[in-house]
């Protein structure tokens, strides 16, 4: 990645650092390793990671979230369903709408992928344990 130039706005500079970490080769490789761990491609993993247990999400919502054509979502769901990671259901209030629900196998695959994704990179060793806790606490505050 390109080194982050100093900016007068510390929030923008901090965000640029986070973006560089996220878009860097190490994280890119980690995402593909998570895909390999559960034998699915990156778009399918993105979909799987966005699912919650017991929540049926209409397929149109996935298309909107992923900014793609609904037919592509159908092909992603076909692959995930073939692996037993999700199942299609009919929305009880509107039988024309198909929802997707993560299965127990899908939850296990999701957990396996997250274990790969959440493993701290070697670059975190540049920080002391106290600095790592401080960074964690600050990022939790931003996420909240």
pTM of the model: 0.83
pLDDT score, position 5: 59
pLDDT score, position 21: 87
Give per-residue pLDDT as tens, 79-129: 999 999 999 999 888 888 899 999 999 999 999 999 999 999 888 999 999
**Is the confidence at residue 72, as pLDDT, over 60?**
yes
Q: What is the CATH number of domain 10-143?
A: 1.10.10.10
Give per-residue pLDDT as tens, 1-47: 555 556 678 888 888 888 888 888 888 899 999 999 999 999 999 99
Mean pLDDT of 64-87: 95
Question: 127 CB contacts (<8 Å, ≥6 apart)?
Answer: 135
> Could you give the dihedral angle defined by the CA atoms of residues 62, 56, 111 and 140, in that order, rounded to the nearest 10 degrees?
70
Q: Is 87 helix (H, G, I), strand (E, B) or coil?
A: strand
pLDDT score, position 140: 94
Sorted by where each begins, the domain ranges of the chain are 10-143
């Amino acid at each position: 990645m390109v080194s982050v130039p100093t900016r007068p706005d510390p929030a923008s500079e901090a965000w640029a650092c986070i973006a560089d970490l996220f878009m860097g080769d190490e994280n890119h490789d980690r995402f593909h390793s998570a895909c390999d761990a559960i034998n699915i491609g990156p778009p399918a993993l993105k979909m799987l990671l966005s699912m919650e247990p017991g929540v049926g999400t209409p397929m149109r919502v996935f298309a909107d979230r992923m900014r793609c054509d609904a037919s592509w979502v159908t092909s992603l769901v076909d692959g995930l369903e073939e692996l037993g990671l999700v199942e299609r259901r009919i929305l009880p209030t509107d039988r024309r709408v198909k929802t997707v629900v993560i299965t127990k196998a899908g939850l296990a695959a999701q957990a396996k992928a997250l274990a790969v994704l959440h493993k701290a990179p070697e670059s975190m060793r540049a920080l002391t344990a106290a600095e790592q806790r401080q960074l964690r606490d600050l990022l939790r505050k931003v996420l909240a």
